[in-house]
Structure 1
Amino acid sequence: MREAQSLVADTLSATVNELCLKFGARKTAFALFLAVWRRYQEENQTSHLSNRMRQDIGLPDSEDVSKLPVWNFKAW
């Protein structure tokens, strides 16, 4: 195991530089954007759930800021 760990991978900047040289900066940047976007989409989003559904799965109620009156400074 120690011998396998002694192999050092390239730094991130060297890897990105190699990808840019091989595929171009635009394709590399677009691929990075798509990877980040897919990762964002994979996360479970609970903001669209109603308070009843949030209670059913054990989450606290969400306070919808749009329903709060503007003059209620205690809410802010």
Structure 2
Amino acid sequence: MHKDQSLVEIPLNDRIHELVERFGPWRTALAVLFAAWRQRKIRNVVSGLSPRMLEDIGLPVDEVQRLPPRISLWDIRL
């Protein structure tokens, strides 16, 4: 079995210590921050969407938030 393919799980504290020794504290800290930022960016946040957009993607909309529909020139008929 290859050395890197170990079945024994290394505790997180030891793994972090190993990374700090190998790459240094600044590079390790920046890598952790970058990974956290990327993870935040991946998450879908719908709190900023309008009720109309929530309806379009099939999510529930509070009736309190819903604005009356706008009058369009296409709705005017003679």
Q: Match for residue 43 of structure 1?
A: 43
Q: Distance in 2 between matches of 1:9 and 1:57?
A: 42
Which runs of 4 or more aligned residues in structure 1 lie more than 4 Å from their structure 2 counterparts after TM superposition?
A: none
Correspondence 1:29 to 2:29: yes
When the two structures are superposed, what TM-score results if normalisation uses the length of structure 2? Answer: 0.64
Higher helix share: 1
Letter in 2 for 1:43: R
Q: Match for residue 60 of structure 1?
A: 60
Letter in 2 for 1:53: M
Q: Distance in 2 between matches of 1:38 and 1:61?
A: 29
RMSD of aligned alpha carbons? 2.1
Which whole-Å deviations, capped at 9, do the CAs of 1:4-27 have from their partners, x for residues lacking one?
xx9212111100000000111111
Q: SS where residue 18 of structure 2 aligns? A: helix
Q: Which runs of 5+ in 1 are unaligned?
A: 1-5, 65-76
Q: Distance in 2 between matches of 1:39 and 1:29?
A: 15
What count of residue pairs does the alignment treat as equivalent? 59
Deviation at 1:56, TM superposition (A): 2.2
Q: Which runs of 5+ in 2 are unaligned?
A: 1-5, 66-78
Q: Distance in 2 between matches of 1:61 and 1:31?
A: 38
Q: SS where residue 44 of structure 2 aligns? A: coil
Correspondence 1:15 to 2:46: no
When the two structures are superposed, what TM-score results if normalisation uses the length of structure 1? Answer: 0.66
